[in-house]
Structure 1
Amino acid sequence: MPNTAPAAANSADRQSSVLDVVDRVSEMLFGLFMALTFVGAVHSATAGPDAGHTMLRTALGCNLAWGLVDAIMFLVRTIAGRGMRAKLAQSVRQAPDRATGIAAIRDALPPTMNTIATDADLDPIRARLASVASLSDRVRLDLADFLGAVRIFFIVVLSTFPVALPFIVFDDLYMALVVSRVLTLIMLFGGGMALGHYAGFSPWLAGLGMTALGVAVTMAVIALGG
């Protein structure tokens, strides 16, 4: 009978590297906030006919840099998490008895899961890990991980344009700033609704809450001279 546990583990690893709703929306919101704060900061120190292009270049340059940083950190988090799971599996396989193996699994659980999971619940997991004849000791990144990092980079970078493009479209900097902030708040509302729907909260309340956070950030930028 073929042993399917390693294949299942590899499949789970590949699935976990794919960006979910929280990842995508969080990266979009991060890009929005970064662009918003930079546009406000540059607006306070920029004047002249080329001010709009200066803001676009500044905001885009900022998000290009942070998109790259965020993509790299995604890869770091992915391989660190994969290493942690491999270490856990090895600890369970090398445990001298049932209680030690269950304790190793319990230490890796979130606190909320620890309060409801009994030893009887965890024992089948321990038994399955202990029965695997061999697990790969190599912790590595695959193509799906790098594609996820590329998606993060583009999400952060593309979220710059709704914030910065009004400064190219409108000659009046004040009008451009108003349109930029309105578009930002609309996107924050949409992102909040998506997160609320995913988490089982009221999408409207989550959208309003994220919009309120955006207003607070905008007010802080204005107070600081943006």
Structure 2
Amino acid sequence: MANPNATDNEKRTRILDPVQRISEIAFGALMALTFTGTLSVASADQEEVKSMLVAALGCNLAWGLADAVIFLISTVTERHRGYTMLRRLQDTPDARAGQKQIADLLPERLAVVVTPAALETLRQSLLKISLTARPRLGLQDLISAVCVFALVVLATFPIVIPFIFIPEAVLALRISNWVAVALLFICGVVLGRHAGGNWFIYGTSFAIIGAVLVNAIIALGG
């Protein structure tokens, strides 16, 4: 739920919601872990470690770019869908038909309890919205896409930094894994607080799920 005390300006300038931010960070961390997890520390030399670092960063650069583009496509698609639904509602003269259109778009639990009077009030409000031009992407959307890219890429560094500063591959891998667990735990904590649930359970579950996912991805050849 959005903060009811937030100002209109704060709501307009907010870049990505907590779930989006955490999703991108977790995705970047998991992708980096699939590279560090396949490194054979028993026989790895500096050249192999360097190749792993380049591969991990290159992969997350590519996926960060892909995620940013998909974000923009999803954003403009949702806006066009909203524009189409609103135009269809405004082109429907029958009140009951319009109310049904609105009810069909509501979450199921809300749709079964909302009254016809409430639907009509909402319909009347929507009819007053002026549709002048089709929705398009703006500067805020481009900034958000850049943030998506940056979050995926930046999530790589906490995982790979130990290999840059620690010459012993075994020790570097252990520290990297602990950093990854801590990062995933923090991601879960943030999600738990956002959802209003138990932050410790969320954090622990997120870390465990992340570890399982990494092992599954590696096992499947990812």
TM-score by length of 1: 0.85
Amino acid at match of 1:81: E
Instruction: Tell me the residue number matched to 1:97.
Output: 94
SS in 2 for 1:165: helix
Task: Report the Cα offset of residue 39 of structure 1.
Answer: 2.3
1:119-153 CA distances to partner (integer Å, 9 max, x unpaired)?
22221111112233x31232200000000000010
Q: Does 1:20 align with 2:7?
A: no
Amino acid at match of 1:163: I
Instruction: Tell me the residue number matched to 1:200.
Output: 196
Q: Is the 8 A contact 1:86 1:137 kept in 2?
A: no
Instruction: Tell me the residue number matched to 2:154.
Output: 158
Amino acid at match of 2:28: G
Amino acid at match of 1:128: S
CA distance in 2, matches of 1:180, 1:221: 18
SS in 1 for 2:134: coil
Q: 1:114 to 1:196 in 2, by over 3 A?
A: same
Q: Does 1:175 align with 2:182?
A: no
1:81-117 CA distances to partner (integer Å, 9 max, x unpaired)?
1111111110111112111111111222222322332
Task: Report the Cα offset of residue 160 of structure 1.
Answer: 0.2
1:196-223 CA distances to partner (integer Å, 9 max, x unpaired)?
0001111111001111112323444676
State percent identity of aligned pairs: 39
CA distance in 1, matches of 2:162, 2:217: 18
Q: Does 1:214 align with 2:214?
A: no
Amino acid at match of 2:142: F
CA distance in 1, matches of 2:192, 2:16: 17
Q: Is the 8 A contact 1:40 1:225 kept in 2?
A: no
Among 24, 29, 33, the alignment partner of 1:36 is: 33
Task: Report the Cα offset of residue 26 of structure 1.
Answer: 0.9
Instruction: Tell me the residue number matched to 1:185.
Output: 181
SS in 2 for 1:50: helix
Supply the RMSD in Å over aligned alpha carbons.
Answer: 2.5
Task: Report the Cα offset of residue 161 of structure 1.
Answer: 0.5
SS in 1 for 2:171: helix
Instruction: Tell me the residue number matched to 2:65.
Output: 68
1:50-97 CA distances to partner (integer Å, 9 max, x unpaired)?
222212111110100010011111111111111111111101111121
Amino acid at match of 2:184: L
TM-score by length of 2: 0.87
Unaligned runs of 5+ in 1: 1-10
CA distance in 2, matches of 1:60, 1:222: 17
Number of matched residues? Answer: 213
Q: Is the 8 A contact 1:17 1:148 kept in 2?
A: no
